[in-house]
Amino acid sequence: MRNRWNDADAAAFEGDLGLRVYSSRLLGADPALVLHGGGNTSVKSTVTDILGERVDVLHIKGSGWDLATIEARGFPAVRMDHLLRLRHLQKLSDPDMVNTQQTHMMNASSPSPSIETLLHAFLPYKFVDHTHADAVVALTDVKNGEAAVRDVYRDSMAIVPYVQPGFDLAKVCADIYEQAPHVSGLVLMKHGIFTFANTARASYDLMIERVQQAEDYLQNARAGRPIFSVRADLPKPAVDKGRLVAIVAQAIGREGGPKLVTLDDAERVMAFINSAQAPALSQVGPATPDHVIRTKALPLYWEHPDLSSEAAFRAGLEAELARYIAAYDAYFQKHAAGGDYVRLDPNPRVLLIPGLGMLTTGSGYKDGQVVADIYRHTIDVLEWASTHGDYSVLTPEQLFNMEYWELEQAKLRKGGARPALAGRVAVVTGAASGIGRACAKELVAAGAHVIGLDINPDGLNGLDADLGKAFLGVRTDISDRAAIAAALDAGARRFGRIDILVANAGRFYSNRTIAEMDAETWDGSLALNLSAHLWGLKAALPYLKANNGRADVILMGSKNVPAPGPGAAAYSCAKAALTQLGRVAALELAADGIRVNTLHPDAVFDTGVWSEQVLKERAAHYGMTVEQYKRKNLLKSEITSTDVGRLVARMCDAAFVHTTGAQVPVDGGNDRVI
């Protein structure tokens, strides 16, 4: 466990709150301590109110903030006098606790204080740190957990039995501390660890020291022996893993809306999934109760998957899911009896499939990655815990109470509008520049995730920087069928599905009259502007068909289809054939719920084809200024790549759900077309 404190760095942070920010970021920088918003920290200080009076407050981590990146504004200030008076109450419900904390903040626009605000307030130290350190959690996640904690810490830490976070836990922790005021921290069984001191550095140093003690204890208990042993009967995939992941996404998307699924088949993860211990260990429960909200109580572990064909995998998966959902329904019915609960989606959040990997699900890639990170650390805890005892967690009733926690249920009831394309994944060819780049951006803005294909890696890297984890760029020559198949497989491994294909890539070959035509121009245009899109569509069809009757194909045609010009035979004929391909595809694919529509843009000048010099030359040819030339359509409007991208995104949402086989101009009105 690395101590990251640096006096020079700390000196750049001023005052109590500044040091609180600094040491909190140090804790958040280590995923073995906290993950994705986990843990919380606080400092007791004073502020000046609107009357100019000094007020004692607790600065506590606010809801929605991550310790790794937290700022001063992420610590709402709550009046200490009010918090301390709450200690004398006998009962306080979670909603009432949240309300009274919010109504006693110094700034009404601050984020909601942590659910563990009272616990921090009741401990009589200036700085309080709380993490869910893997090693400490592992110590507590065995049948003789309290004995293990005592072996490690003797009387330097007090032990707190499991109590669900909230008012009751705060009172229990305060009572236990007051009975042992010499301790430097608390170990909460099945939960985590608190350290406290009157300086930021002392509290942080204690956290690192105490976690290191737990790690040393577990390392000694392990004594170098392997914990996970590889099974002898492991299956081997006979089909692309991306296709298997897409089958999972289709199966779990039937309830609760479309979901993204991500595959992790890294060596560390596979060592656990493929082990003889995994079938039993994986079904005990989560490392800490907090995780159940993200991962559910149990993953689906498929002990003997058939990976020999898509059909065999699909049939086996359906049976495994049916068993998992039936067990979840029984769990819900048993523990929800008599309560006002909204049943959650019963599908697993984590699927562990020997020979394939760990699949995690979420409404978006980020959600799925949170689940993946949590389960990767769960594997660490399982290994740690197995070094010194039988892994043991909370009862099903306790896990249910956490999964269906009143505060979490309230969030569900409030709901909120989802973006139009949430949960959908698009493939955009020619994504690195021009119209393709605009399509990728507009699709992401509408809630979709995008797999961008292009031969230009620099342009894809730029989109990666702009769009983040919602975008996956894959360098691909779309005229290479094997490269297209590999790109789609990479996309499916990352996102689990493909719902939209935007066939945009293309090139305007140099003007050639029929008399001047050469084979390179003609064949090149047909290969890139027509044939590549045919083979790309064919390769994407298995994914598009696996979307429960909702997928879109958008072909990028051209104004040259209805209104060709002299010297553009190679380009115009390829685009006309592409348009005809779209019409045939609309007829053939309608039964699968796949809509196929074609856009015909014209005079989109903010693309690489139109340099400033070319624009000047074309404008002069027509006796116009450049600005006049850009608007030489009936509506006198300038068409941009963003205009085309926005229409592409809109044609993939519910507004066009009943439209297929359409050809839509994006040209401002062309008298030759009309």
Catalytic residue positions, numbered = 571
Structure tokens at 88: 């004398």
Which amino acid is residue 643, in one-letter code? D
Cα angle 588, 546, 647; round to 5: 70
User: For residue 465, what is the enclosing H or E element?
Assistant: helix 457-467
Query: Which three-class secondary structure state does DSSP give residue 308?
Result: coil
The residue assigned the tokens 């897409």 is: 246
Q: How many CA atoms within 13 Å lie on the side-chain side of 30?
A: 21
Torsion, Cα 408 413 418 423, to 10 degrees, reads 60
Structure tokens at 166: 């909230």
CA distance 162 to 535: 58
Cα angle 13, 78, 15; round to 5: 15
Residue 134: partners with Cβ closer than 8 Å, 6 or more residues away? 32, 33, 287, 377, 380, 381, 384
Structure tokens at 419: 């973006």
Cα angle 362, 368, 374; round to 5: 125
CA–chain centroid gap for 512, Å, is 49
Q: How many CA atoms within 13 Å lie on the side-chain side of 508?
A: 16
CB atoms within 10 A of CB 333: 10
Which amino acid is residue 63, in one-letter code? S
